[in-house]
Amino acid sequence: MTNYIYIATSLDGFIATSDGNIDWLHEIPNPEQSDYGYAEFISDIDAIVMGRNTFEKVLTFDEWVYNKPVFILSNSLTKLPEGIIDKAEVISGDIKILINQLNRQGYNNLYIDGGKTIQSFLTEDLIDEMIITRVPILLGSGFPLFDKLNQKLNFKHKKTEIYNDILVKSHYVRDRYK
């Protein structure tokens, strides 16, 4: 049972601009059309848990990009748009209880996505591994990946990869024994 973060940030730690825009990610040169390891990562994932804001951003894409079950963590969303009903499910409540329920349903390797959702999982110490790709841009403001925590959380560095001499992807594993 592992909860993963797989996300890109600017050098100053933002995952989106102040208006929620992520177009800056599409400006990254990608001459080899690489997925930067995403296919390998997602192949080991059982389901995706994302927040409502991330879900709404995904709905603006040309097509539904997930082939795994998606659970939208929201206390305000009550209805899914047509065409998504069989691809996603809204869940709400205490995230520790929700994660235990998902694990009992056989969803053991979860991809946690969305700024506020990631922050909530970190606050509850529910993130086991983080794969963070740094993009060499300073946004100056926006939605930060990290927020205040009630306790420090130790992680061990597992590996770092560099793509196209531009992106730095680092993998960290929660160290619960410190």
pLDDT at 30: 73
pTM of the model: 0.92
Percent of the chain with pLDDT over 90: 71
Name the band, by pLDDT with cuts 50, 70 and 90, for residue 142.
Answer: very high
Residue 154: per-residue pLDDT: 96
Q: In the predicted model, what is the mean pLDDT of residues 126-140? A: 97
Q: Where are the domains of the chain?
A: 2-23+33-174
Residues near 3 by beta carbon (within 8 Å), at least 6 away in sequence: 99, 110, 112, 121, 126, 127, 128, 129
Length of the chain: 178
Instruction: Return mean pLDDT, the chain.
Output: 92
So what's the architecture of 2-23+33-174 in CATH? 3-Layer(aba) Sandwich (3.40)
88, two tokens? 């996603």
Residue range 22-71, pLDDT digits in tens: 999 888 877 677 788 888 999 999 999 999 999 988 888 888 888 999 99
